[in-house]
Amino acid sequence: MRVLLLGGTTEARRLADLVAGEVAVTTSLAGRTREPLLPAGAVRIGGFGGADGLARYLRDEHVDAVVDATHPFAAAMSGNAFEACTASDVPLMILRRPGWTARPGDEWHRVASLPEAAALLPGLGRRVFLTTGRQGIAHFAGSDECFFLARSVEPPAGPVPRQLEVVLDRGPFTVAGERDLITRHRLDVLVTKDSGGADAKLVAARELAIPVLMVDRPPLPPAAVVSTADAAAAWLRSLRR
């Protein structure tokens, strides 16, 4: 059984580890990170050329099933996967970790997009902890009244805010470390995307009583969805049977 795993997340690597000895799994990575964490099994790096290119790949490689375990904000890739699998009659499962839920003590302001977050930001704070990934930093380039501490795995490209300090780091992070970072830089608002997973920065923001601008996830295509690697592995095993 040949499986294409659209990866780049912790859940994708976990799934590859679970099924690498049972199926021929190839993980596809977008190639945006120079030194990605590699999963078990075969790896391909780079795009497919849209939905049509992915459909050709599925046919040429005789792929039996696809698991979309991309980042929750990789909307274009998820849409292409759904179109390609539908056109090729290849089973598709979407693996997405659950999003975050506000708890008592949280002050969250949910928005639909990064531009909406940038527009709302000046009313919430002036010293910003920006954790939207390097590609999201450009949306705040015009916010000259704010200071930004942006954290990303790699340096940003394109326009950036005038007052910007970049911390290059990769998680997981601890609540104590996040609390120290926020306090040391006198940050008074957190901007993040509802990626789910570890929430140390959200706990620190709650403890320090600073507001959070939370960018909501884009909608998923109308495919089956599971929230854990174990559930996705069980689905693949059911196809084998």
| CATH architecture, range 108-215 | 3-Layer(aba) Sandwich (3.40)
pLDDT digit string, tens, across residues 83-120: 999 999 999 999 999 999 999 999 999 999 999 999 99
Domain boundaries, the chain: 2-98+219-240, 108-215
SS3 content of the chain, % helix, strand, coil (to 5): 35, 25, 45
35: DSSP letter? S
Query: 194 or 36: whose pLDDT is higher?
Result: 194
Q: In what order do the strands lie in the sheet with 2-6?
A: 42-45, 24-29, 2-6, 65-68, 92-95, 224-226
Q: How confident is the model at residue 33 (pLDDT cuts 50, 70, 90)?
A: low
pLDDT at 226: 98
pLDDT over 90 (residue 182): yes
pLDDT digit string, tens, across residues 196-228: 988 999 999 999 999 999 999 999 999 999 999
Mean pLDDT taken over the chain: 94
Q: What is the CATH number of domain 2-98+219-240?
A: 3.40.50.720
Specify the residue for token string 């942006």.
Answer: 150
pTM for this structure?
Answer: 0.88
* 8-17, 28-37, 68-77: the lowest-pLDDT one: 28-37
H helix runs in 20-68, sequence order = 50-60
The total of other beta-carbon atoms located within 10 Å of residue 145's CB is 11
